[in-house]
Amino acid sequence: MELEILKSIQSINNNFFDVFFEIITIFGEELFIIPVLAVIYWGIDKRFGEYMGFSIFSSLLVNNFLKDIFKFNRPIGEENIRSLRVETATGYSFPSGHSQGAGTFYSSLSFYIRKKIIYFFSFIMIILIGFSRLYLGVHYPKDVLVGIILGVFISYITYFFYYRVLSRNKMYIILLMIFAPLLLFVESADFYKVYGSYFGFVLGIILEKKYINFNTDIKFIKKFLRIFLGIGLIFILKISLKIFFVDHVIFDMIRYFFIVFFGIGIYPMIFNKLSF
């Protein structure tokens, strides 16, 4: 049944849609979400960036844990299914990481900004990104549907707790401890990467709040410089660590820990000291 749905969707394929949906799917990827998160955290609203980070990392932890439990295969390689941008289709199929990430990211945006135009924009983006995973032949309909539902649900839950829990640091640490034992059982390399990222986020936030406390209320040119240099440094750090670290899930976790910890805690210390 699901294969027939995919075949029906892919029956509309042409060069324009190939390019269009390959571009659309990027808006649900790390390639897009992480730089946007950096822009928000470093230059627009630190508190908003913190909430977005908490929401996104929580959602990705759940997503990769569920993928490892269900271990459902992707439609890649099925007869009469053409699969594009397969390099983004890592791990198992259920639930869709792109769809869940989009559901979390764009609904988090809506919960925080609370404007009709943002609600509409977010809804359209979530649907388009989910549909793109079907058109590209890397997910089944159930993967996308459950991914979207989970993404929106987790963004709401994290928003609820973020604004109602008095000690956010304790909340972050508790979640870190809840997922820690899973490292002994989960085989997914992506789970290790996300756990390392979340660990870096937690320690970075604690460091920033206690010792740095940077301000986003600065001149535009300083914001631009802060964001431009920061994204460049993150990119260099990611490439450099990949070269020097052994290709193993533990080292992947450590690598992602350092990248996020640098972005959340160390880099703000640098630009605070240099006053930009």
What is the model's pLDDT at position 272? 86
What is the model's pLDDT at position 6? 86
Owner of token pair 């977010």: 122
What is the model's pLDDT at position 10? 87
The C-alpha angle with vertex 32 and arms to 27 and 36, in degrees rounded to 5, equals: 115
What is the model's pLDDT at position 89? 81
CB 259 within 8 A of CB 237: yes
| CA neighbours closer than 13 Å in the CB half-sphere of residue 96 | 33
pLDDT, averaged in runs of 10, over the chain (276 residues): 84 90 93 91 93 95 94 85 83 91 95 91 96 92 96 94 86 94 90 96 95 90 92 92 84 94 94 83
